[in-house]
Amino acid sequence: MKNIFFIGVGLIGGSFAIDIKNYNPEAVIHGISRKDETLNKALELKLIDQKATIDDLKNADLVIVSIPVDATVKLLPTILDKISDTTLVVDAGSTKEAICKAVEHHKRRRNFLACHPIAGTEKSGPTAAISGLYKGKTNIICEVEKTTFKLQEKALDLFRAIGMRIRYMDPVSHDKHIAYVSHLSHISAFMLGKTVINKEKNERDIFDMAGSGFESTVRLAKSSPAMWTPIFKQNKENVIETLEEYINNLQNFKELMQQDNFSEIFKEMENTNYIKQILNGIK
Ligand code: NAP
């Protein structure tokens, strides 16, 4: 694949660009973004070789779309309009149902592969891009049967070359499960951060007393609201369901505290320690 276009050159797109260029040094990496300053930064960091526009997509062998999910829903049909018959388009959006729906009847639906790389950090923009982000990480692919076999193969070769494992899922199940393991964790971190900030108006005190437990738990609260608001909007129903269960658990914990029922609190935490086995099992 010679001409590779990145629409969005932030953490996810930029990190893909680094690994793909390492794997395929002959490739020319083209960058497309809303803001010229973002593209200039991507050029300066050597994430991309040159700037491009949507109209240049006719020359693309591969297009990787990594912009916020609402922007992906809006732009994806236009991207498919602009490409050639042999171009592969993949996205990296954290939701999948709305994105797949946006192009379900498009005449080039078979050029598109819906993906969600389960990799990332709380940082954003071109300066957040890092090499090796995807090594050993899972890429969830949805509706694989809707992509031509030849283009599926191309994508799989590339993902495997940069060290990714592949899982297949339908978009509805993806959005349901991801609400628990990713979206709820972010809300929980944001609201933990808010609770502490509201109580500890003097930020100095937070830094002085914040141990590594607080820092690691609240890390995701540094994430970009511009990326997360559209995710919560697109996955509203599932996210509300997870929040209801989470709030019930918090409420229950509070009631046990009020009842001085510390033996039950011990049991609750002991049962939840099972998370260690689950997480070790997936490493
Ligand atoms: P990011 O670092 O903030 O980069 C987003 C990029 O999209 C920037 O290049 C930005 O460029 C551009 N952009 C922002 N708003 C746009 C809009 N309305 N229209 C067109 N372009 C726009 O975000 P990211 O973390 O790479 O996330 C990109 C995608 O990957 C999202 O769909 C996200 O759901 C998904 N994802 C994220 C993670 C994660 O942990 N961060 C993990 C897996 C998947 P400008 O500065 O020019 O606007």
* DSSP one-letter string for 57-77: GGG-SEEEE-S-HHHHHHHHH
- Is the CB of 193 inside a 6 Å radius of any atom of ligand 1? no
- Find out whether the beta carbon of 117 lies less than 6 Å from any atom of ligand 1: yes
Ligand 1 touching residue 99 (CB < 6 A)? no
Q: Name the token pair of 170.
A: 């339908």
Q: What b/e sequence results for 70-87 when a residue is b if at least 16 CB atoms lie within 10 Å of its CB, and e otherwise?
A: bbbbebbeebbebbeeeb
8 CA distance to ligand 1 middle (Å) = 6
| Confidence class for position 19, pLDDT limits 50, 70, 90 | very high
- Average pLDDT, integer, range 85-109: 98
Q: Whose CA is nearest to atom 40 of ligand 1?
A: 120
Mean pLDDT across the stretch 226-246? 98
**CB of 66 shorter than 6 A to ligand 1:** yes
pLDDT, tens digit, 9 for 90 and up, residues 201-212: 767 766 677 777
Burial class of residue 121 in the structure, from the number of CB atoms within 10 Å of its CB (0-12 exposed, 13-18 middle, 19+ buried): middle
pTM: 0.94
Location of each CATH 3.40.50.720 domain in the chain: 3-170
The residue whose two tokens read 């914040």 is 210
Give the residue whose CA is nearest to atom 14 of ligand 1: 67
Q: Does domain 3-170 have CATH number 3.40.50.720?
A: yes
Residue with CA nearest ligand 1 atom 29 = 66
Closest CA to ligand 1's atom 41: 120
Ligand 1 center from residue 26 Cα (angstroms)? 26
Ligand 1 contacts CB of residue 235 (under 6 A):
no
pLDDT for residue 278: 83
Percent of the chain exceeding pLDDT 70 equals 98
Is any ligand 1 atom within 6 A of the Cβ of residue 158? Answer: no
94 lines ligand 1 (CB under 6 A): yes
Residue 94 near residue 223, CB atoms below 8 Å: no
CA distances from 131 to 13, 38, 141, 162 (A): 11, 19, 22, 10
> What superfamily does domain 173-282 belong to in CATH?
6-phosphogluconate dehydrogenase C-terminal like domain (1.10.3660.10)
Judge whether residue 120 has pLDDT over 90: yes
Half-sphere exposure of 246 (CA within 13 A, CB side): 17
Element (H, E) at 141: strand 138-142
Distance CA 41, CA 43 (A): 5
Residues 140-165 have a mean pLDDT of 98
Mutate to test the pocket of ligand 1, among 9, 11, 91 (most ligand atoms within 8 A of CB): 11
Angle at CA 61, nearest 5°, toward 57 and 66? 65
Given this model, what pLDDT does residue 163 score? 97
- Establish how many alpha carbons lie within 13 A of residue 52's alpha carbon, considering only the half-sphere containing its beta carbon: 23
Q: Which helix (H) or strand (E) holds 159?
A: helix 149-161
Q: How far is the CA of 169 from the centre of ligand 1 (A)?
A: 23
Residue span(s) of the chain under CATH 1.10.3660.10 come to: 173-282
Whether the predicted pLDDT of 282 surpasses 70: no
Beta bridge partners of 141: 115, 168
Is 84 within 8 Å of 63 (Cβ atoms)?
no
When pLDDT is averaged across residues 150-154 and rounded to a whole number, the result is 98
Q: Rounded to an integer, what distance in angstroms lies between the CA atom of residue 235 and that of residue 228? A: 11
Q: Which of 94, 66, 70, 74 is nearest to 238 (CA)?
A: 94
34 in contact with ligand 1, CB cutoff 6 A: yes
193 Cβ neighbours under 8 A, 6+ residues apart: 218, 221
User: Dihedral of CA 31/116/186/232: which sign?
Assistant: positive
CA-closest residue to ligand 1 atom 6: 8
Q: Do 119 and 137 contact (CB within 8 A), yes or no?
A: yes
Please give the average per-residue pLDDT across 17-46, as a whole number.
97
User: Measured from the CB, is residue 88 less than 6 Å from ligand 1?
Assistant: no
How far does residue 240's CA lie from ligand 1's centre (Å)? Answer: 23
